[in-house]
Amino acid sequence: MLGYSGSGYKGMQLSPTEKTIEGDLFTAFVAAGAISKANATDPKKSSLVRCARTDKGVHAAGNVVSLKLIVEDSDIVQKINEQLSPQIRVWGIEITNKSFSSYHLCDSRIYEYLIPTHCFLPPHPSTSLGQKLVEIAEQENDLEGYKQRQAEVATYWKEVDEKYIQPILERLPEVTRNRVKRALIVKSDTGPVDSSDSQGEQKLNPSNEGDDAPTSNETSIQTNENKDTSAEDAQTVTTNDAIRMIRAAYLDAKRAYRIPKERMDRINDALGMYVGTRNFHNYTIQKSFRDASAKRLIKSFKISRDPLIINGTEWLSLKVHGQSFMMHQIRKMVAMVALVVRCGCDIQRIPETYEDHKIAIPKAPGLGLLLERPIFDSYNKRTVVEYGKNPIDFSKYEKEIEEFKQREIYERIFREEEESNSFGNFFNHIDTFQDSAFHYVTSGGIPASKSRGGTGKAPMSGKAALKEVESESEDEVVNGGEEGG
């Protein structure tokens, strides 16, 4: 039984070329004398089996591997941990019957997903998706229904623009202010303006607070230009500085957001749509509607506790208990719920995704996902009576696990998000995406994602659309694509 932070690792599974959790774990077993020198060069000789494979960067507070170990030393766990980085901890070792397989005898798994509450804010009204939500709601005679589903955030962006953005614009020289305002303009027929125009003037998507947003101490507009720089170049630099300030202001506003109870209730209602045995063919890769293995049982999915506020940002903890999960399934489930809630979509859209049509559901950032623990209830009920062995039970290590989660997992997640803005960038890419691939969350439903979307071009394939908005490959398949969110 072990826990680990996946940061810096290429996943759980052994790889001859990549740094993985099992690679470091096996090396520690050998160094601690838990694996004989005869078996030290080939993990297969030790019959290594993992309970749940986790992807690149994904964490686990509790996971289980089964293998042949030499455990005569009473302090073998301590010796193993001495060979590991603080990112990986072995909680304990239980002796099982010889036929035990941690993969096949696992009844179910519980995963946690941490997500900032600002991910449930609606798209900015000037973004491509923000405009389409209103436009299609009007076309479908659903504008009042759409407004009702967004009632608790109806004035959010208006208030942000007045409180955070307008003061910045008012402090700018008139010429610079006019240039920045032009950069904020969105063309109604094509969505957000391009990243730059023919004059070299940087354009701004209002909610795009990407990598070039300034740090907290970068708050003043550059005014002292190099004397050799032309007036036009100097003005462009000043405009770009102002744009970076506005991006930073939007990011600050989103991090200051506190989710109302009505929004949380809506999230829970949407998560509840996954409970039961469903056909999740749209929530993984390379599986069709008729593939029997796409049917999975979800026992529960809900917000697990009150929101956490870390360094000024509010986070939600979502916990899902399922029998087993397919490649990317959990991250796509989270992304779909976020899209449904933030776009004011009817939550009945989620059951429609189980039907016989293919839609492009992006996968939310892997940063927030962790395996809480696997469940071995059936094995545990038999093991004491039939085998005289101890049950596989993480509860006896609860204190150590909670301390480890806080130090090595939670704090890493919060720190990495503050540095990278992964969640903000992910949803911004979707909001500014010009194609109709994600319009299934509009009032037009799934047919809207197959339309030309006002661009005059044929809609992108789902695979191409996902490649545009995701930061990692959709096609990476490891170990048959089972487990890992």
Which residues have a catalytic role annotated? 55
Residue 176: what pLDDT? 84
Residue 206: what pLDDT? 59
Tens-place pLDDT, residues 392-446? 999 999 999 999 999 999 999 999 999 999 999 999 999 999 899 999 999 999 9
Structure letter (DSSP) for residue 224: -
Quote the CA–CA distance of 428 and 205 in Å, as a whole number: 9
Residue 281: what pLDDT? 97
CA atoms 16, 19, 25, 28: torsion sign: positive
Residue 107: what pLDDT? 94
CB 123 within 8 A of CB 160: no
Chunked into runs of 10 residues, the chain (485 residues) has average pLDDT values of 94 91 95 91 88 89 94 93 97 90 93 98 95 97 97 96 91 84 53 37 52 41 42 59 88 94 97 98 95 97 93 96 95 98 98 96 94 94 83 94 95 92 94 93 94 61 77 51 50
Q: What are the backbone angles phi and psi of residue 157, rounded to the nearest 5°?
A: -70, -35
CB 340 within 8 A of CB 350: yes
> Taking the model in full, what pTM does it have?
0.86
Of 248, 282, 270, 181, residue with least CA distance to 424: 248
CB 280 within 8 A of CB 326: yes
SS3 of 60, please? strand
Quote the CA–CA distance of 13 and 10 in Å, as a whole number: 8
Residue 188: what pLDDT? 35
Residue 468: what pLDDT? 76
SS3 of 361, please? coil
Q: Is 158 exposed, middle or buried (0-12, 13-18, 19+ CB in 10 A)?
A: exposed
Tens-place pLDDT, residues 266-309? 999 999 999 999 999 999 999 999 999 999 999 999 999 899 99
Structure letter (DSSP) for residue 124: P
Quote the CA–CA distance of 166 and 169 in Å, as a whole number: 5
> Is 111 a known ligand-binding residue?
yes
Quote the CA–CA distance of 470 and 425 in Å, as a whole number: 10
So where are the chain's domains? 157-255
Token look-up 């071009």 returns 457
Distance of CA 474 to the CA centre of its chain: 14
